[in-house]
Each structure stands twice: as structure tokens, then as C-alpha cells.
Structure 1
Amino acid sequence: MVTFVKFDVETYNRTKAAGTPNCTHIEEEFPDIEMITDSEGNPTLGGRIGYALAYALMAGFIGYFVLFI
């Protein structure tokens, strides 16, 4: 699971009227990327097309950098 640190805007906004706001950071996790499935657990047509497009774009970018850089 991948985590990232972000600025805690809610705490900052609650405390900024008191004169010196509390600047804090919180860690959040990116959700796992999962294939879109129907109620029976089978991948949907849109999910398969999306994955095919994503992999084609990724291969294209890698191919571009290998050939031209």
C-alpha cells in the first residue's frame, strides 16, 4: 500500500482564527487499483477496454523514450 503526506486543511481552518494556526500533516493511503467487475466478479467490457488503453499508453510512452531519448 502506498502512502502520501498531505497538509491537514481542516485543522488549519479550525485554528487560524485563534491567532496562530496549527500546521499539521497527515498520512493517507492510495486505494489499490482494481479491475471494475460486475456483481458476479467478472471484469466488465469497459474495465477491460480501460486496462487495454492504459497499457497501450504506457507502452507508447516507454517506446517513445527508448527511441527518441
Structure 2
Amino acid sequence: MRTVKFDIETYNRTKASGTPVCTHVDEEYCEIGTAVDHDGNPTLGGRIGYALAYLLMAGCVGYFVLFV
């Protein structure tokens, strides 16, 4: 996944000159995936983490549907 962000380091170095250089840089993030063992099967911790995440997401959606 690639994103473009403001290059704050170059800006801070050149802002004292009166005309700061404003550039953008590409930044790449690693993909988030399921934790797997050496055979490629999801680990127990990974499955528990996904179950907790889905429960939390369902709870938030349920809260907003019922109370907001």
C-alpha cells in the first residue's frame, strides 16, 4: 500500500531560508495479514484476535444502531 505524505523534514530544514521547499514523498506500508504458522494455517492467537476484533466491531455497530 502506498501513500503520499508531506515531507516535513525537508520543509523544516529549508523554512529558515524564507522560501521553504514543499515536497511530497511516497511512503509504503506493509500489508496487514493473519498470523500463520509454518504450514500456512492461522494460529490460535490470530483466530482469537480476529474474533475479538469482530465482536468489538459488532458491538460498536450495535451501539450506534440502538442508542444513536
Q: Does the alignment reach a TM-score above 0.5?
A: yes
The match for 2:50 is 51
Q: What does the per-residue CA deviation read over 1:19-49, in whole Å, with 9 as the maximum and x for residues that have no partner? A: 5332222243443321111111111111111
Letter of the 1:37 counterpart: V
**Identity fraction in percent:** 71
The match for 2:20 is 21
Number of aligned positions between the proteins: 68
| RMSD (Å) for aligned C-alpha atoms | 2.3
* TM-score normalised by the chain length of structure 1: 0.71
* TM-score normalised by the chain length of structure 2: 0.72
Letter of the 2:67 counterpart: F
Letter of the 1:42 counterpart: N
The match for 1:60 is 59
The match for 1:37 is 36
Task: For 1:33 and 1:10, locate their aligned partners in 2 and report how far apart those are by CA, in whole Å.
Answer: 27
- Structure 1 gaps of 5+ residues are none
Moved over 6 A (4+): none
Distance 1:67 1:39, change over 3 A: same
